A and B are shown apart, each in its own frame.
Chain A
Amino acid sequence: MTVENRYDVIVAGAGHNGLTAAAYLARAGMRVLVVEKNDWIGGAAVSRSLHEGWTYSNCSYVCSLLRREIARDLELPKYGLQVIPYEGGASFTRDADYFAYYSDHNALKREMARHSAKDADAYRGYSQAIMRQCRFIRPFLLRDAPDPASLHPRDLGELAYLVKKAHGQGSRELGETLKFWTMSIGDFLDEHFENDLIKAHLAGSGIIGTGLGVYSPGTAYVLLHHYMGDIDGGIGAWGFARGGMGAISNAIAASFKDHGGTIHTGAGVEKILSKDGRVEGVALEDGKVFYAPVVASNMDIKRTVLHHIDAAELPDDFTKAVRNFKIRGSSAKLNIALDRFPNFPAAPEHTSFLRGDLHVSQSLFELEKAYDDWKVGRWSEKPYIDMLIPSQIDPTMAPTGAHMMTVFVQYAPYDLEVDGVRSAENWNEKQRTAMAETVLDQMSVACPDIRERVVHMEVRSPLEIEREVGLTEGNIFQGELTFDQLFFNRPVPGWSQYSLPIKGLYLCGSSAHPGGGVMGAPGANAARAILRNETRHGRMKGYAA
Chain B
Amino acid sequence: MSQFDAIVIGGGVNGLIAGTLLGRRGKNVCIIEKSTRFGGMASYSVDGGPTLAHSLYNLSPRALSDIGIDPQHPVLSGKPVSTVSLSEDGRHIVFKNDGVYWSDGTKHPESSAWSDLTQRLITYGSLLRQLAEAPAPGGQKTVLSRGGLNEFLRLAKLGIGLKKLGKSEMRRFLQVVLSNVHDIILDDLPEGPVAGLLAADAIWGSATGPRSPGTVFNLIYRLGHGGIITQPAGGMSALTDLMVEAAQKAGCVLMPKTEASRILLDNDTVSGVETTDGRTITAPIVLSNLAPKITSQMTGPSVFDIETIRRVRNIRACGTAAKVNLRLKDNSPLPGLPEQLANERLIFAPSVEYVEAAFNPAKYRQMSKAPVIEAFKVQTADGASWLSTIVQYAPSDLEGGWTESAKEKLAQTTVETLSRSLPGLGDHISGKQVITQDQIESATGAPGGHWHHAEMALDQLLTLRPANGMARYSMGPKGLFQCGAATHPGGDVMGLAGRNAALAALEAQP
* Complex: A324 Cα to B363 Cα, angstroms: 28
Query: B174 in the interface, Cβ–Cβ < 8 Å?
Result: yes
Query: B463 in the interface, Cβ–Cβ < 8 Å?
Result: yes
Query: B92 in the interface, Cβ–Cβ < 8 Å?
Result: no
Chain A residue nearest to B208 (CB atoms) is A217
Give the chain A neighbours of B363 by CB distance below 8 A: 215, 365, 368
* Complex: A136 Cα to B458 Cα, angstroms: 20
Give the chain A neighbours of B139 by CB distance below 8 A: 171
Q: Are B211 and A375 in contact (CB under 8 A)?
A: yes
Q: List which A354-388 residues lie within 8 A (CB) of chain B.
A: 365, 368-369, 372, 375-376
Query: B110 in the interface, Cβ–Cβ < 8 Å?
Result: no
On whether A489 and B356 interact (CB within 8 A), knowing A175-B138, A175-B463, A182-B457, the answer reads no
On whether A484 and B469 interact (CB within 8 A), knowing A147-B171, A217-B212, the answer reads no
Give the chain B neighbours of A349 by CB distance below 8 A: none
Chain B residue nearest to A190 (CB atoms) is B314
Q: Could you say which of B212, B214, B464 contacts A178, with CB atoms under 8 Å apart?
A: B464
Query: A242 in the interface, Cβ–Cβ < 8 Å?
Result: no
* Complex: A187 Cα to B138 Cα, angstroms: 24
Q: Could you say which of B213, B464, B468, B469 contacts A217, with CB atoms under 8 Å apart?
A: B213
Q: List which B203-243 residues lie within 8 A (CB) of chain A.
A: 211-214
Q: Are B175 and A489 in contact (CB under 8 A)?
A: yes
Q: Are B214 and A182 in contact (CB under 8 A)?
A: yes
Q: Are B170 and A324 in contact (CB under 8 A)?
A: no
Query: A132 in the interface, Cβ–Cβ < 8 Å?
Result: no
On whether A182 and B458 interact (CB within 8 A), knowing A172-B468, A217-B213, the answer reads yes
Q: Are A493 and B459 in contact (CB under 8 A)?
A: no
Q: Are B178 and A483 in contact (CB under 8 A)?
A: yes
Q: Are A183 and B459 in contact (CB under 8 A)?
A: yes
Q: List which B162-194 residues lie within 8 A (CB) of chain A.
A: 167-168, 170-172, 174-176, 178-180, 183, 187
Query: B54 in the interface, Cβ–Cβ < 8 Å?
Result: no
Give the chain A neighbours of B304 by CB distance below 8 A: none
Q: List which B456-473 residues lie within 8 A (CB) of chain A.
A: 457-459, 463-464, 468-469
Query: B123 in the interface, Cβ–Cβ < 8 Å?
Result: no
Give the chain B neighbours of A174 by CB distance below 8 A: 138
CB distance from A75 to the nearest CB of B (A): 39
Q: Could you say which of B183, B356, B364, B463 contacts A324, with CB atoms under 8 Å apart?
A: B183
Q: List which B306-346 residues lie within 8 A (CB) of chain A.
A: 314, 316
Q: Are A365 and B364 in contact (CB under 8 A)?
A: yes
Query: A3 in the interface, Cβ–Cβ < 8 Å?
Result: no
CB distance from B173 to the nearest CB of A (A): 9
Chain A residue nearest to B363 (CB atoms) is A368
CB distance from B479 to the nearest CB of A (A): 22
Query: A494 in the interface, Cβ–Cβ < 8 Å?
Result: yes
Q: List which A183-217 residues lie within 8 A (CB) of chain B.
A: 183, 187, 191, 212, 215-217
Q: Main secondary structure on chain A at its contact with chain B?
A: helix
Q: Could you say which of A179, A324, A488 contacts B187, with CB atoms under 8 Å apart?
A: A324
Give the chain B neighbours of A488 by CB distance below 8 A: 171, 174
Q: Mark A210-241, 1 if CB is under 8 A from B, else 0.
A: 00100111100000000000000000000000
Q: Are B178 and A484 in contact (CB under 8 A)?
A: yes
* Complex: A340 Cα to B444 Cα, angstroms: 64
Query: B360 in the interface, Cβ–Cβ < 8 Å?
Result: yes
Give the chain B neighbours of A372 by CB distance below 8 A: 360
CB distance from A461 to the nearest CB of B (A): 22
* Complex: A485 Cα to B174 Cα, angstroms: 10
Q: List which A267-314 residues lie within 8 A (CB) of chain B.
A: none
Q: Mark B361-379, 1 if CB is under 8 A from A, else 0.
A: 0011000000000000000
Q: Are B167 and A217 in contact (CB under 8 A)?
A: no
Q: Are B175 and A484 in contact (CB under 8 A)?
A: yes
Q: Mark B153-165, 1 if CB is under 8 A from A, else 0.
A: 0000000000000
Give the chain B neighbours of A368 by CB distance below 8 A: 363-364
CB distance from B135 to the nearest CB of A (A): 14
CB distance from A362 to the nearest CB of B (A): 14
Give the chain A neighbours of B212 by CB distance below 8 A: 216-217
Give the chain A neighbours of B171 by CB distance below 8 A: 147-149, 488-489, 493-494
Q: Could you say which of B187, B213, B314, B469 contacts A483, with CB atoms under 8 Å apart?
A: B213
On whether A482 and B179 interact (CB within 8 A), knowing A217-B212, A375-B356, the answer reads yes
Q: Are A217 and B459 in contact (CB under 8 A)?
A: yes
Q: Are B457 and A191 in contact (CB under 8 A)?
A: no
Q: Mark A432-465, 1 if CB is under 8 A from B, else 0.
A: 0000000000000000000000000000000000
Chain B residue nearest to A148 (CB atoms) is B174
CB distance from A439 to the nearest CB of B (A): 23
On whether A489 and B214 interact (CB within 8 A), knowing A179-B468, A494-B167, A494-B168, the answer reads no
Q: Are B172 and A493 in contact (CB under 8 A)?
A: yes
Give the chain A neighbours of B214 by CB distance below 8 A: 182, 217-218
* Complex: A375 Cα to B353 Cα, angstroms: 9
Chain B residue nearest to A482 (CB atoms) is B213
Give the chain B neighbours of A191 by CB distance below 8 A: 314
* Complex: A179 Cα to B214 Cα, angstroms: 13
Q: Mark A459-489, 1 if CB is under 8 A from B, else 0.
A: 0000000000000000000000011110011
* Complex: A217 Cα to B353 Cα, angstroms: 18
Q: Could you say which of A150, A176, A179, A369 contacts B364, with CB atoms under 8 Å apart?
A: A369
CB distance from A158 to the nearest CB of B (A): 15
Q: Are B178 and A216 in contact (CB under 8 A)?
A: no
Q: Are A175 and B213 in contact (CB under 8 A)?
A: no
* Complex: A257 Cα to B464 Cα, angstroms: 51
* Complex: A425 Cα to B316 Cα, angstroms: 42
Query: A37 in the interface, Cβ–Cβ < 8 Å?
Result: no
Chain A residue nearest to B187 (CB atoms) is A324
Chain B residue nearest to A180 (CB atoms) is B459
* Complex: A415 Cα to B180 Cα, angstroms: 20
Q: Mark B431-473, 1 if CB is under 8 A from A, else 0.
A: 0000000000000000000000000011100011000110000
**Residue in A174, A180, A365, A372 with the greatest tally of chain B CB atoms within 10 Å:** A372
Q: Are A216 and B211 in contact (CB under 8 A)?
A: yes
Q: Are B360 and A179 in contact (CB under 8 A)?
A: no
Query: A317 in the interface, Cβ–Cβ < 8 Å?
Result: yes
* Complex: A171 Cα to B187 Cα, angstroms: 37
* Complex: A376 Cα to B354 Cα, angstroms: 11
CB distance from A386 to the nearest CB of B (A): 23
Chain A residue nearest to B216 (CB atoms) is A484
Query: A326 in the interface, Cβ–Cβ < 8 Å?
Result: yes
Chain A residue nearest to B461 (CB atoms) is A182
Q: List which A117-149 residues lie within 8 A (CB) of chain B.
A: 147-149
Give the chain A neighbours of B180 by CB distance below 8 A: 482, 484
Give the chain A neighbours of B187 by CB distance below 8 A: 324
CB distance from A187 to the nearest CB of B (A): 7
**Residue in B214, B316, B457 with the greatest tally of chain A CB atoms within 10 Å:** B214
On whether A489 and B464 interact (CB within 8 A), knowing A179-B459, A217-B212, A482-B179, the answer reads no
On whether A483 and B179 interact (CB within 8 A), knowing A175-B138, A187-B316, A494-B171, the answer reads yes
Chain A residue nearest to B176 (CB atoms) is A484
Q: Are A317 and B174 in contact (CB under 8 A)?
A: no
* Complex: A191 Cα to B459 Cα, angstroms: 13
CB distance from B155 to the nearest CB of A (A): 12
Binding site for A on B (CB under 8 A): 138-139, 167-168, 170-172, 174-176, 178-180, 183, 187, 211-214, 314, 316, 353, 356-357, 360, 363-364, 457-459, 463-464, 468-469
Binding site for B on A (CB under 8 A): 147-150, 171-172, 174-176, 178-180, 182-183, 187, 191, 212, 215-218, 317, 324, 326, 365, 368-369, 372, 375-376, 482-485, 488-489, 492-494
Sample (18) of A-B pairs whose CB atoms are under 8 Å apart: A147-B171, A148-B171, A149-B168, A150-B167, A176-B468, A179-B464, A182-B458, A182-B459, A217-B212, A217-B458, A324-B183, A365-B363, A368-B363, A375-B353, A483-B213, A489-B178, A493-B171, A494-B167
Shortest Cβ-Cβ A-B pairs, 8 listed: A493-B171, A175-B468, A182-B458, A483-B178, A484-B179, A183-B459, A182-B459, A324-B187
Using A216-B213, A217-B457, A324-B187 as known contacts, list a sample of 8 further A-B pairs with CB atoms less than 8 Å apart, ordered by residue number in A. Answer: A176-B468, A183-B457, A368-B363, A482-B180, A483-B179, A484-B176, A493-B168, A494-B168
